[in-house]
């Protein structure tokens, strides 16, 4: 009887590019082919027999799943964010966790800027207006928006994506304020951004753009109080994680006219329920979590995730590992 020595790997969705082909040459590969993610039970069942998992942000990897997967050695997330994974529980079980930083920085910053421009200049509303046959004449008061040029952009989180948004903002002649754990002198010198505290950022930003990971500290970073402190009529853009904004407080601020509008690539929950009040508000621009969705970037993310997984399965520290102490 022949016995396979290839490690068993479960991938929770088809991925673009060549990465899965490469993975399939080295491991005993099972790929979830459906459009929707595997159910929780199915993921636990697959994890139970696997040494490696390639996961997406829709797949929860927690202590309960890990308890059923004693052979698991690596979880490789196809995302820079990893709030779907209980990293501490993985570390306790000596399961390496990989992610894909850098691969999506510029693509995500492009999309954040697309939302900034789209919201400020009402692009989706304009498109819907023309398609609905409502365009009867040029009008001096039709679909008036907010100037991006010369506006103050408030960036929350000056990591890779926040900094890439700041570079784009400089090209648009914006005044750039940011808040982060500590000042970033190199970014300040490069784009003329100024580090300020949270209260100043909220009070002065015409457009607030969020670029922080979701952690217990950033959950509902924008809540009722923050929305009250924001400049009246300001715009909010979220391409980070839905949980960074309190959804009820957001709807209240939009309905009350306190907030001028919101552009949301991410929501709490995801997908956004069809009966969410956000669906009916005209000053809300919505996207289905696609900031990193370019052909090249998604291919790069898949490839990095496979590199991370293969390294961990070979007992090496993955090139991008969020719990390197597993290899100490
Ligand atoms: C990430 O990578 O965390 C994004 O949200 C999806 O690309």
Rounded CA-CA distance 142/137 in Å is: 9
Do the beta carbons of residue 116 and residue 148 sit within 8 Å? yes
Average pLDDT, integer, range 242-265: 98
Q: Which residue's CA lies nearest to atom 3 of ligand 1?
A: 81
3-state secondary structure of 207: strand
Q: Which atom of ligand 1 is nearest to the CA of 81?
A: 3
The answer, yes or no, to whether residue 38 has pLDDT greater than 70, is yes
Positive or negative, the CA dihedral 17, 18, 23, 25 is positive
- The answer regarding whether domain 105-286 maps to CATH 3.40.50.460 reads no
Average pLDDT, integer, range 250-269: 98
Measured in Å, residue 80 CA sits from the centre of ligand 1 at: 5
| pLDDT (tens digit per residue) in 124-174 | 999 999 999 999 999 999 999 999 999 999 999 999 999 999 999 999 999
Residue 312, pLDDT score: 98
Rounded CA-CA distance 122/116 in Å is: 10
Measured in Å, residue 142 CA sits from the centre of ligand 1 at: 36
Measured in Å, residue 79 CA sits from the centre of ligand 1 at: 4
Q: What is the pTM of this model?
A: 0.96
- Specify the length of the chain in residues: 328
Q: How far from 274 is each of 77, 78, 249, 271, CA to CA, in Å?
A: 28, 27, 19, 9
Residue 3, pLDDT score: 52
| pLDDT (tens digit per residue) in 42-76 | 999 999 999 999 999 999 999 999 999 999 999 99
Residue 2, pLDDT score: 52
3-state secondary structure of 288: coil
List residues near ligand 1 (CB under 6 A).
Answer: 57, 79-81, 104, 292
Q: Which residue's CA lies nearest to atom 6 of ligand 1?
A: 79
> What rounded mean pLDDT belongs to the chain?
97
Do the beta carbons of residue 233 and residue 260 sit within 8 Å? yes
Spell out the CATH class of 8-103+295-327.
alpha beta
The answer, yes or no, to whether residue 14 has pLDDT greater than 50, is yes
The answer, yes or no, to whether residue 1 has pLDDT greater than 90, is no
If pLDDT is split at 50, 70 and 90, which confidence band does 4 have? Answer: low
Q: Where along the chain do the CATH 3.40.50.720 domains lie?
A: 8-103+295-327, 105-286
Q: Which residue's CA lies nearest to atom 1 of ligand 1?
A: 79
Residue 5, pLDDT score: 82
């Amino acid at each position: 009887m022949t016995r396979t020595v290839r490690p068993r790997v479960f991938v929770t969705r088809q991925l673009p590019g060549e990465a899965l082909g490469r993975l399939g040459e080295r491991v005993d590969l099972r790929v979830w082919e459906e459009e929707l993610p595997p159910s929780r039970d199915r993921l636990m069942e697959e994890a139970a027999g696997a040494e490696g998992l390639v996961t997406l942000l829709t797949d929860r990897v927690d202590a309960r799943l890990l308890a059923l997967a004693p052979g698991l050695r690596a979880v490789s997330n196809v995302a820079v964010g990893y709030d779907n994974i209980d990293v501490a529980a993985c570390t306790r079980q000596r399961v390496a966790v990989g992610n894909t930083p850098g691969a999506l920085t510029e693509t995500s910053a492009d999309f954040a800027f697309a939302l900034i421009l789209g919201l400020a200049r009402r692009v989706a509303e304009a498109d819907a207006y023309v398609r609905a046959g409502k365009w009867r004449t040029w009008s001096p008061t039709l679909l008036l928006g907010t100037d991006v040029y010369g506006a103050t952009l408030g960036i929350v989180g000056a990591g890779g994506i926040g900094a890439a948004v700041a570079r784009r903002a400089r090209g648009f002649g914006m005044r750039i304020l940011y808040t982060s754990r500590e000042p970033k002198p190199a970014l300040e010198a490069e784009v003329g951004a100024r580090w300020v505290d949270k209260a100043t950022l909220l009070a002065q930003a015409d457009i607030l753009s969020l670029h922080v990971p979701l952690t217990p500290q950033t959950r509902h970073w924008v809540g009722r109080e923050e929305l009250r402190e924001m400049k009246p009529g300001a715009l909010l853009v979220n391409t980070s994680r839905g949980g960074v904004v309190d959804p009820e407080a957001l709807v209240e601020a939009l309905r009350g006219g306190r907030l001028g509008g919101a552009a949301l690539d991410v929501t709490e929950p995801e997908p956004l329920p069809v009966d969410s009040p956000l669906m009916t508000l005209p000053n809300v621009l919505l996207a289905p979590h696609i900031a990193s969705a370019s052909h090249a970037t998604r291919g790069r993310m898949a490839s990095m995730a496979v590199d991370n997984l293969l390294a961990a399965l070979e007992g090496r520290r993955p090139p991008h590992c969020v719990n390197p102490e597993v290899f100490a």
